[in-house]
Structure 1
Amino acid sequence: MSGRELTLLGEGGVELLGRIPRGSNAAFLVLVSCGDDSAYAVYKPESGERPLLDFEPGLYRRERAAYLLSEHLGWGIVPPTVIRADAPLGIGSLQWFVDCDVSEHYFTLYADSPATHRVLLQIALFDCIANNTDRKSGHVLRGHDGLVWGIDHGLCFSAGFKLRTVIWDFAGAPIPAALLEDITPLAEAVPPEVAGLLDDAEVTALQRRVQRLLLSGMLPVDRTGMRYPWPLV
């Protein structure tokens, strides 16, 4: 994607169109506009977050951190995401809307599109690094442009191990050398723009997760059979 997306998200006017149903936290479809240019985005305001015992308010910061981490790695698997304090319902995240066939998701992509397996494994690794607590199948989308995206990262980056995901088909698989090379610098330092959105314990835990992945060289295996989100899709 080009700088157009970040310009629209970061500087455009924000028009609230309607609430996106079925989410635990409030999410809204909005139209972002700069002059004659406009596009859809997903807006998640802090004011619409359901209180949680294990995550502080401000899940929008984790949405932004996930995007920045994906960009830092050069993976491009999280749609452009910014934080806007001037949005209609107060501070929150704005994420580029992925125009896609909603009947496609992780389970269908894995079963029917072997060509997506490389990026699906990449998303699995990303979730291990980010400690994703909520990787449902419907949080993996294939845009009409053919690109595969991971969305909905509000429940990531906890200091305690909370990985819950449907992507266990690659469990025990060797991590490709190129991906190991990409993540190696994180073992020593987390990019400041990511670290600034997390607390110190979360930053340290991220580094330790990377260190363990580098030591094992493979994706983890869930020996409990219980590390799944609900609902699965």
Structure 2
Amino acid sequence: MKSRNDGVSDDGLHTAELTVIGQVTTASNVTLVCEADGAGLRVVYKPVRGERPLWDFPDGTLAGREVASYLVSEAIGWGVIPETVLREGPFGPGMVQRWIDTAEDAPGPDLVDLVPVDAVPEGYREVLRALDPGGHPVSLVHADDPRLHRMAVLDVLLNNADRKGGHALEGLDGRVYGVDHGICLHSEPKLRTVLWGWAGEPIGDELLTDITVFVKALPGELGDRLAEFLTDTEIDALETRGRALLEEPVMPRPVSQRPIPWPAF
């Protein structure tokens, strides 16, 4: 996928006619792959009308939460989430996000993977041990990678309730991207993630500096933009989570009975 500053006009993402070329059938909500006609751009399109209602996320839309999550990622300067907008598409308004191209059949384990318990790769952190469908013990692991760590910190801010292994992608440009942020930014604690390998460890000064700038920006124009998609209570909770990280700059430990989304991939 091309980044937002690689010479592809934003008009392709915002205004180009979308032609559906496929569907992600494993997604919980309608997720379509489209070509932006005349722009040489592939996108993911999730129409609002294809969302399944969630009792614990009654406000706004999942598409709006995806856009709000992108705005947070951009405001903090981390670029973790591909460019995401809310616009009209073939099936009405929905979220449109730049597609991420990843290397096919890359050697070695994925950023998040399952491996035999006695074969945790060097440079990976073990999150938990379990049994695979065949009854064999396996370890859930993720890369000890600063790009992935930054995503894990962002997930704490976003209160991401669904960071699965398949939602962390290594692009051909060498960057690590996070996708699928429809159930983020709730006002109540909802963090569920496969990226628990840094639990209890300090957050670096560079990331804390970015968070400081972000928290200061929230009451201004940024907060106004987020208010298009979130409630005031949810925006206040976002600021509270940011301040909490600054006051205690340590990655949280799991506190709920369901700290990992299921399925994990």
Normalising by structure 2, we get a TM-score of 0.80
- Structure 2 counterpart of 1:147, which letter? R
What is the aligned partner in structure 1 of residue 76 from structure 2?
73
Identity fraction in percent: 38
- Unmatched tracts of structure 2, length 5 or more: 115-119, 125-142
- Structure 2 counterpart of 1:211, which letter? R
Matched, 1:207 2:235: no
After superposition, residues 86-105 of structure 1 pair within 5 angstroms as 87-101=89-103, 105=110
What is the aligned partner in structure 1 of residue 212 from structure 2?
184
Matched, 1:27 2:26: no
> The residue matched to 1:22 in structure 2 has which SS?
coil
Judging by fraction of residues, say which structure has more strand: 2
After superposition, residues 135-150 of structure 1 pair within 5 angstroms as 135-150=163-178
> The residue matched to 1:43 in structure 2 has which SS?
strand
- Alpha-carbon contact 1:105-1:138 (below 8 Å) kept: no
1:67 & 1:142 partners in 2: Cα distance? 17
What is the aligned partner in structure 1 of residue 50 from structure 2?
48
What is the aligned partner in structure 2 of residue 11 from structure 1?
15
What is the Cα deviation at residue 7 of structure 1?
A: 2.4
> The residue matched to 1:4 in structure 2 has which SS?
coil
What is the Cα deviation at residue 6 of structure 1?
A: 2.7
- Structure 1 counterpart of 2:13, which letter? L
After superposition, residues 222-233 of structure 1 pair within 5 angstroms as 222-224=254-256, 226-233=258-265
2:185 & 2:36 partners in 1: Cα distance? 28
Q: Which shifted more, 176-185 or 114-123?
A: 114-123
What is the Cα deviation at residue 21 of structure 1?
A: 1.1
- Alpha-carbon contact 2:200-2:252 (below 8 Å) kept: yes
- Structure 2 counterpart of 1:207, which letter? E
- Alpha-carbon contact 1:6-1:82 (below 8 Å) kept: no
Distance 1:112 1:83, change over 3 A: farther
Matched, 1:118 2:118: no
Q: Which has the larger radius of gyration?
A: 2
Distance 1:196 1:113, change over 3 A: farther
> The residue matched to 2:36 in structure 1 has which SS?
strand
1:112 & 1:89 partners in 2: Cα distance? 46
1:124 & 1:196 partners in 2: Cα distance? 25
What is the Cα deviation at residue 81 of structure 1?
A: 0.7
- Alpha-carbon contact 2:76-2:214 (below 8 Å) kept: no
1:16 & 1:113 partners in 2: Cα distance? 39
> The residue matched to 2:145 in structure 1 has which SS?
helix
2:25 & 2:159 partners in 1: Cα distance? 25
What is the Cα deviation at residue 111 of structure 1?
A: 4.9
- Alpha-carbon contact 2:31-2:47 (below 8 Å) kept: yes
Distance 1:107 1:7, change over 3 A: same
Judging by fraction of residues, say which structure has more helix: 1
Q: How many residues align?
A: 230
What is the Cα deviation at residue 18 of structure 1?
A: 2.1
What is the Cα deviation at residue 39 of structure 1?
A: 1.5
Q: Which shifted more, 56-65 or 23-32?
A: 56-65
- Alpha-carbon contact 1:165-1:228 (below 8 Å) kept: yes
Distance 1:185 1:30, change over 3 A: same
